[in-house]
Structure 1
Amino acid sequence: MFLCCVNANPARLQSASEKTDSLDVKELLKSAYEHQQHGRYEESREVYDQAAKQLGEITPQTAEANLKLQQGLIELDRLTGKTSAAIKRLEAAIKQTPDQPLLHAVGARLTYETGEYNKAHQYVARALALDSDQPLAHLIQAHLLTDAGKINEANEGYRWFVRYYNRAQPEDAETLLQIAEGATQYARWNSVSQIFTFVINTVCPDALKADPLAWQASYISGSILQEKYNRPQAADEFTAALKINPRAAEVYVALAFSAIESHDFDLAVKMINRALEINPRSIDALLTRCDLELINGQYQQALKTAQSAADINARSQLVLARLAACYLLLDGVPARESLAELFNADEDSETKTTSSRFTKLTVDLLKQNPKPGYFLYELAQLMEMKRRFVFAEFAYLKTISLMPQLSGPKSSLGMLYMQMGKTELAQQTLDEAFKSDPYHVRVSNMRKVLGVLESYGAIVTDHFVIRYDSKADAILGQYMADYLEEIYPELAAQFGYEPPGKTQFEIYHDAKGLGAHQWFSARMIGLPWIQTIGASTGAVVALTSPTAMKEPFNWASVLKHELVHVFTLQQTKYKIPHWFTEALAVRSEGSARPQRFNQLLVKRVPKGEIYSLEELDGVFVRPKSSENWNFAYCQSLLCADFMVEEFGEDALKKLLTSYQNQRSTEEAVKECFQISLEEFEKRYHAYLKKITASLKGYRTESTRSFKELQKDYEADQKNLALAGEYAANLLSRRKKQEARELAQSVLSRNPAQPQAALTIARLELLSEDLPAALAIMQPALKAKTDDVELLGLAGKILLKQKQYPEALAIYEAAHKKYPYKTEWLQGLAIIYRHLTEDHKQKEALLKLVHLDPTDVDSMQELMYLYQSEGDLKETLHWGQAALQIDVLDPETHECLAETALKLKQPELAIREYRVLLQLDGKNTEARYQLANALFESGKKQEAETEVEQLLKLNPDHAAGRELKAKL
């Protein structure tokens, strides 16, 4: 018995050892998986390697553990872009266990993602032969059928996931995630919105419940929400995914896509780079980078990026769409007839032999996939983004005919029709799209816009259709229509071109609880915010109604600006660079360069912060700040001014013609001006420096911090200018006592030191002691200081004290030194009015309105000045100019009506009196004048109506009763 016991113990000890080792392997695999799901990929690989070593020492190996090991390592390779290693590892695993369906399904996914579709088919067939319910194999099979153009079979493939879920009720996270992906695709194709809700609210949460580390569940939910433009909830889901796995490359790509849609392109670049750091072979990241390069007009670079993606998967419809977009933008877009021939041609037709890169790519694709819906849909979106509307429309329509089950192309086509001003087609298309996808936020918003437009009135002229809120903007709409027709001949002559058809202008007002600007934004992008107050697609113009804005703007300038875009974009078939169409549009407004532009020139040009022409286009699309955006406009305008000064009056027309002939900027500059683009920019930058040097009175912001200023002062306390600056900074930080003591110390040594005097003056004003504040500044004023702040404060005090002659000296001197600053002109206009120097007042006002085309008060003042002088034509001019800012001002209309009568323009007078009565129906004198003008114009019946109304309001109106007797 002893020997038996001795012989038996080793066996029992070996069994216990194996059991312990198996337990260790299980724990190691669990730990490796946790590392992997948390994005700790290096640590995960180390632990998997430990598990592999441990597993190799166990006899026999457990099949389940080995499968988890191989599956984990393959997925780790896949997530980090080591596709070749993943495939080799897979092939070795299959040799070891050839009858494992999951491995064949994983092989199908790997080869599908690398474009090896024949191998992927083989893996799918083997996986399903071993397990007819293998979810991953079914998913890849459906994808392969889609890419072969077998849409009905693919649809059944995606439908399988819905049926399988209902039949098997799986609970493991991996299967639930695959069901979420397949069922969502079925929902997209068949407009089953309930499935989207079910996936987001049930399937993905169940997957997370089964596996709290399944970050992919949050990613899938976020992707669905992002697709429906539900950005806030999508962002929450992506954040949740990154909380689990901060190195999930897919999520960073999704965030990059969101950033592009929000025009935060710097963030998009950051997200793309992050994704590619994690997975250098992420096709989605490369394609998103390609999209960004296309947005920026970097077509050659975009092509290189697309080719990098094609090196990974040359069969992907999404990759081929980017290649095709690059070819079209670089080589030119075929005519619609050629496109129709290409997609309808037989294999033996002549179209098949066409040598263009786009045609060859398309022909090769059609041989493999007769229904490349995703290729066409992606390509249409890219071309729409580049304003190639005709091509985009063709591609959307073709996609819908090939894959009518896709809701995306219908939504995009409806939005495109809105861009093109085809609202009836848009209404029909968006209604159909909404039935297919009621969760699409932009579609929903655009349908609401169409609902608002339906209630709008329309003014149709020879060249325009003006849509407007007939209750709120009836007056504005008519004035806009007249103005557009007035400027149309001028622009047609200037550009030597006329847009075909009538251009539609839409003026949005407050409606249905939303503000005018929200409706305008929704009209342009389907979302509630856009930076500008007016925008043009090249086919349609929309703007926020000035009557709904708190801050006034010159609506005539905005209309002209946007109409120039219509001319230039259509004339060049949208080939004109963004900077040049903006240069022409801003220049057309005819106003002086805005003060904000001058301030930016003074701030940036001396530091060499000047954009190249290529950079300018990018700034318009992706401004980091409103300052960058304004400087892009400023530089564009000055580039146009430079061309005229350097190369003659016809320089702009020459360049526009070159763009019309589809030249690049480099080619166009060489063709028009016989110099290289490099030389052109060198001269242009010199011109900017010359302009900047001429500007006076614009202070550059100090880059020195308060601490640096303090340090400099303490190191050089005898420097009175530095001490004065430091005192002023102390006061701005509410250190009043320190500021006072230092400023007084400075003034005791130099009473004319401006910043110290300004500091004490401001302290005196805290107690409203104006004389004391003014007295402390007198030495600096007598010394003829150039300090803008001190001059401004002294001038304001003198105006407040009505010491006009004394104020005049300051304002005239300051204006002479700083002619572009409107504050001096505003003060001069006030002073001249009080001194009854009408001629000088008029001069100041004329300069003011040139510098500030929104200064309606100055325009009205000019109107009354000219009226008092009896200059009726100028009275009329400035009254009409004032209406281009405030069209609802009754006094302006009254003045215009009276002036029109004196000028013997009864039709204009009648119109102005009618408008005046719309604004002030109880104005009996205006009604009498209207009735009298109608009578004298031979419109007796209309005159009688007005007289009756007048006498109802005032039965004792003598002139009215007399007029009635004549009738």
Structure 2
Amino acid sequence: MSDTPLSMCRIPFFAWMLLFWVTVHPGLLQAASEKPDTADVKDLLKTAYEHQQHGRYEESREVYDQAAKQLEQLTPQNAEQSLKLQRSLIELDRLTGKSGEAITRLEVSLKQSPDLPILYAVGAQLYYETGDYDKANEYVTRALALNSDQPLAHLVQAHLLTDAGKIDEANEGYRWFVRYYNRAQPEDAETLLLIGKGATQYARWNSVSQIFTFVINTVCPDVIKADPLAWQASYLSGSILQEKYNRPQAADEFTAALKINPQAADVYVALAFSSIEGHEFDQAAKMIERALEINPQSLDALLTRCDLELINGQYQQALKTAQSAAALNARSQFVLARLAACFLLLDGVPDRESLAELFTVSDDSEPQPTSSRFTKLTTALLKQNPKPGYFLYELAQLMEMKRRFMFAEFAYLKTISLMPQLSGPKSSLGMLYMQMGKTELAQQTLDEAFKSDPYHVRVSNMRKVLGVLESYGAIITDHFVIRYDSKADAILGQYMADYLEEIYPELATQFSYEPPGKTQFEIYHDAKGLGAHQWFSARMIGLPWIQTIGASTGAVVALTSPTAMKEPFNWASVLKHELVHVFTLQQTKYKIPHWFTEALAVRSEGSARPQRFNQLLVERVPKGEIYSLDELDGVFVRPKSSDNWSFAYCQSLMCADFMVEEFGKDALKKLLTSYQNQRSTDEAITECFQITPEDFEQRYHTYLKKITASLKGYQPESTRSFKELQQEYEADKQNLTLAGEYAVNLLQRRKKQEARELAQSVLSKDPAQPQAALTIARLELLSEDLPAALAILQPALKTKTDNAEVLELAGKILLKQKQYPEALAIFESAHKKYPYQTEWLQGLAVIYRHLKEDQNQKETLLKLVHLDPSDVDSMQELMYLYQNEGDLKETLHWGQAALQIDVLDPETHECLAETALKLKQPELAIREYRVLLQLDEKNTEARYQLANALFESGKKQEAETEVERLLKQNPDHAAGRVLKEKL
């Protein structure tokens, strides 16, 4: 029997029947393939989760919907996958700000599965986050009744106990996570993350620093190992590092989180917080907006926005933001702290006695109908939570930020008494004491804080500052304590002390006020391998960089030592500036706005407007780029650039000048009194000047335009790019002005041949075109052909050009050629045209010196030092000019002025000593000779003069000591031997 097809294929009978039916009914096969199984749903859930963790929230929701439809078709239902789906959708709702939908979805799930502890735990979390603490407590209880080891329920329970003031029980709640990890050794990512959160809170409260290290180095990596998509692990470790002010590593962790999920709103909030700490406020605002775009109900984003508004002085807007946060969670201590801060800043801060009374009320106490908003809020909170440590801590930090030091100190101390396990308040209180100049209290407090939290960078840095301060010397006067490096700044410290006492009566009279107690000044020099400015910065903010060289908290002043700086500065001006802050801030109880205290401080320096201010006025005022008074305070704390920062100072000064010109000499004092009476700026302007704030701003802007119009010779910087200039030139090559400008730009880009050809072409048509002439002249100077360069400029000079660059270059060439009369004509003409610019005066001073025109030289130098108060060379020249004239008082004045820039110049001290002797001021002469010998102990002539001055003053024993030293150095010193015989 031959083989049949059936026997060859060996296909069973039922298979042939199936093939038959498929051939006849193709729709049957399609229906069978669409029937889901658990593997299909599992794949969908995995895909949706991947989308979710990568921040593709809409795609994630679409795939979850597909999974839900397929789950409905499964018989029987897969309970594990259904639970996973519902939990994922709830979490997706949380991440995108749909808390209402999340709660609704949870309640539906609980009706379907009423015995799942994880659902009650998730419910507890949702209700806790929305401020329904009663419901959250109910769900925590049910979750733990079903599973006593449910981690999420334990975490929410610990948070609830904290917010109820049951701190000991809450502490045990957080400790549970440490014990559970040791007992159960979980390996899944979700549980490990919860353990990381709970354990770090226990570490914070109990100063177990190794737990932080363990969470960062073990727990979080294990989370990533278990789930490579768990961006939350990087966010957690970054948050811990950020908390310890380890910004670089924190930034790395946040970057890692965003690589996984670029839509993680929590990470953007953390980055905003970092930006605020770094004073990058515009960047912070962008991060906050980004977070709220992703999650409109991000409570942390709203709180951070509120902080930023408080920093900017936008108290009403901050209140609105805090109220929006309260609509999401009215029970959160962090929300209530922002509301309280807004109430205090808008309504006023109670005195210490009232605060103490508020926090000692009984449980049945009720606020009076007339009580402040702050009192009502706090009374209500204390009934719910008798130990609101986080509320007080957050509020203290906000009030410290606004320099309400008394309140901040009270709140920190109260927090420590209510929740001593918190290390943060101790750290902050220690830092506050540094701001207040209470260094002994700061030392004690920071030492305790460091024991609690040795990873806190700012605390560590501030303790190092205290270590440096401990080695410093102290000069104590009637009104000041000057701390200084006794080795490097022994001379400087004494001169500063004298100067401060000299100006104190003037300022006390000016402000009709005297700060209570002695104001502390701290002068930081290089030490222990760090630069002076690093120590100064660490002193002020606990971190190694700050923009200024001097700063005042209102209670203490710190500055970088001028003897440690490469560029000299007028330290007397800086001291006076910062001391004015001490007066105005304390006088107004810190209510004075930033712009006005800066206006008064800059004005007190008594110098002309800085050149940079004039340049900025010319660049910005014609374009209407003027800050309003409301904006000015914000610019000081969040400048986009150094120019913005400088212009804020400029505008503040100009506003003060405007008020004096417009409303009289007592205008500034009136406004200061209004701030002292706790008025707002709008109220103060109306009260003092009887005009609306809008009219004030309008008249102020008119004043700015008038002043700007008088500033000749300052050229606004072009905003055109080289490419734009090139296009304009190509479109209009016959425009000689445009061609000259293009030639200058070509030379700046080292296109020498092209620049030369174009400039020569322009000069062939107009030999006096200034920019073309400048281009050729500069090319000639490259080969040091001064006559040729000058010759090219002559046609422009003959037309009496106003081009400052042509005049300056021609003047410099003439000076180099020592053609002083010819140079004089140029510099005198230019100075008349541009009286506020220093370069013309500098040239004139050189010319008059060589022409031996002492009177003209002296007048020029006087103008120069007024425009530039750090020009020590001009001050020394004035000293010698007056010395040659025999004007001893002016010699003394300018010598002492020069020391206010370079206190270590021996020649100045020698001149002052000689002048003091002639003025019959032996004590001053003795002091100057002593300083001179500190600078150069081998100066035998100075030692002789010191010995002689001491002898003439009747100080024979001291004179004898100096003579002995003199003759030991030079036994043949004839005058010294004669003086010894007299002794």
TM-score (norm 2): 0.97
Partner residue, 1:609: 625
Partner residue, 1:500: 516
2:304 is aligned with 1:288: yes
Partner residue, 2:467: 451
Residue pair 1:342, 1:352 contacting (<8 A) in 2 also: no
Letter in 1 for 2:144: L
Partner residue, 2:690: 674
CA shift, 1:350, in A, is 7.2
Match of 2:436 among 411, 420, 423: 420
Q: What are the residue-to-residue correspondences of 1:700-715 with 2, within 5 Å?
A: 700-715=716-731
Q: Distance in 2 between matches of 1:744 and 1:548?
A: 50
CA shift, 1:695, in A, is 0.4
Q: Distance in 2 between matches of 1:565 and 1:608?
A: 30
Cα deviation, 1:596-642, whole Å, max 9, x if unaligned, reads: 00000000000000000010000001000000000000000000000
Residue pair 2:743, 2:759 contacting (<8 A) in 1 also: yes
Match of 2:92 among 64, 68, 76: 76
Partner residue, 1:627: 643
2:41 is aligned with 1:25: yes
Partner residue, 1:466: 482
2:951 is aligned with 1:935: yes
Partner residue, 1:213: 229
2:333 is aligned with 1:317: yes
Residue pair 1:283, 1:309 contacting (<8 A) in 2 also: yes
Match of 1:806 among 801, 819, 822: 822
Q: Partner of 1:344: helix, strand, or coil?
A: coil
Match of 2:569 among 542, 548, 553: 553
Partner residue, 1:790: 806
Q: Distance in 2 between matches of 1:54 and 1:562?
A: 72
Match of 2:849 among 813, 833, 837: 833
Partner residue, 2:3: none
Q: Distance in 1 between matches of 2:371 and 2:193?
A: 44
Q: Distance in 2 between matches of 1:208 and 1:270?
A: 29
CA shift, 1:740, in A, is 1.2
Partner residue, 1:199: 215
Q: Distance in 1 between matches of 2:823 and 2:14?
A: 123
CA shift, 1:721, in A, is 1.9
CA shift, 1:352, in A, is 6.2
Q: What are the residue-to-residue correspondences of 1:592-607 with 2, within 5 Å?
A: 592-607=608-623
Q: Distance in 1 between matches of 2:155 and 2:366?
A: 38
| Number of equivalences | 965
Residue pair 2:482, 2:520 contacting (<8 A) in 1 also: yes
Partner residue, 2:6: none
Q: Distance in 2 between matches of 1:737 and 1:5?
A: 92
Q: Distance in 1 between matches of 2:659 and 2:204?
A: 52
Q: Distance in 1 between matches of 2:882 and 2:953?
A: 27
CA shift, 1:19, in A, is 9.0
Q: Distance in 1 between matches of 2:347 and 2:537?
A: 34
Letter in 1 for 2:973: H
Letter in 1 for 2:451: K
Q: Partner of 2:37: helix, strand, or coil?
A: helix
Q: Partner of 1:543: helix, strand, or coil?
A: strand
Partner residue, 1:525: 541
Match of 2:526 among 486, 490, 510: 510
Cα deviation, 1:189-211, whole Å, max 9, x if unaligned, reads: 00000000000000010000000
2:596 is aligned with 1:580: yes
Q: Distance in 2 between matches of 1:916 and 1:28?
A: 86
Letter in 1 for 2:510: Q
Residue pair 1:18, 1:58 contacting (<8 A) in 2 also: no
TM-score (norm 1): 0.98
CA shift, 1:347, in A, is 3.5
2:64 is aligned with 1:48: yes
Partner residue, 1:485: 501
Q: Distance in 1 between matches of 2:31 and 2:825?
A: 107
Q: Distance in 2 between matches of 1:384 and 1:508?
A: 24
CA shift, 1:798, in A, is 0.7
CA shift, 1:711, in A, is 2.6
Q: What are the residue-to-residue correspondences of 1:763-774 with 2, within 5 Å?
A: 763-774=779-790
CA shift, 1:413, in A, is 0.2
Cα deviation, 1:176-200, whole Å, max 9, x if unaligned, reads: 0000000000000000000000000
CA shift, 1:747, in A, is 1.5
2:396 is aligned with 1:380: yes
Q: Distance in 2 between matches of 1:744 and 1:28?
A: 75
Letter in 2 for 1:727: A
Q: Distance in 1 between matches of 2:745 and 2:288?
A: 43
Moved more, 530-539 or 352-361: 352-361
Q: Distance in 2 between matches of 1:14 and 1:863?
A: 105
CA shift, 1:720, in A, is 2.0
Cα deviation, 1:860-919, whole Å, max 9, x if unaligned, reads: 000000000000000000000000000000000000000000000000000000000000
CA shift, 1:20, in A, is 5.3
Q: Partner of 1:470: helix, strand, or coil?
A: coil
Match of 2:184 among 145, 149, 168: 168
Q: Distance in 1 between matches of 2:632 and 2:101?
A: 44
Q: What are the residue-to-residue correspondences of 1:54-69 with 2, within 5 Å?
A: 54-69=70-85
Cα deviation, 1:787-807, whole Å, max 9, x if unaligned, reads: 111111111111111111111
Q: Distance in 2 between matches of 1:369 and 1:713?
A: 73
Q: What are the residue-to-residue correspondences of 1:634-783 with 2, within 5 Å?
A: 634-783=650-799
Partner residue, 2:373: 357
CA shift, 1:750, in A, is 1.8
Q: Distance in 1 between matches of 2:640 and 2:620?
A: 15
Match of 1:265 among 281, 291, 299: 281
Match of 2:243 among 227, 233, 256: 227
Match of 2:147 among 131, 136, 139: 131
Residue pair 2:36, 2:74 contacting (<8 A) in 1 also: no
What's the Cα RMSD here?
1.7
Residue pair 1:727, 1:759 contacting (<8 A) in 2 also: yes
Cα deviation, 1:510-547, whole Å, max 9, x if unaligned, reads: 00000000000000000000000000000000000000
Partner residue, 1:122: 138
Partner residue, 1:882: 898
Q: Distance in 1 between matches of 2:886 and 2:242?
A: 64
Partner residue, 1:945: 961
Cα deviation, 1:71-112, whole Å, max 9, x if unaligned, reads: 000101111111111101000001101111111100000000
Q: Distance in 2 between matches of 1:644 and 1:932?
A: 52
Q: Partner of 1:355: helix, strand, or coil?
A: coil
Letter in 2 for 1:232: P
Q: Distance in 2 between matches of 1:348 and 1:86?
A: 37
Q: Partner of 2:414: helix, strand, or coil?
A: helix
Q: Which consecutive unaligned segments of at least 5 residues does structure 1 have? A: none
Letter in 1 for 2:800: K
Residue pair 1:342, 1:351 contacting (<8 A) in 2 also: no
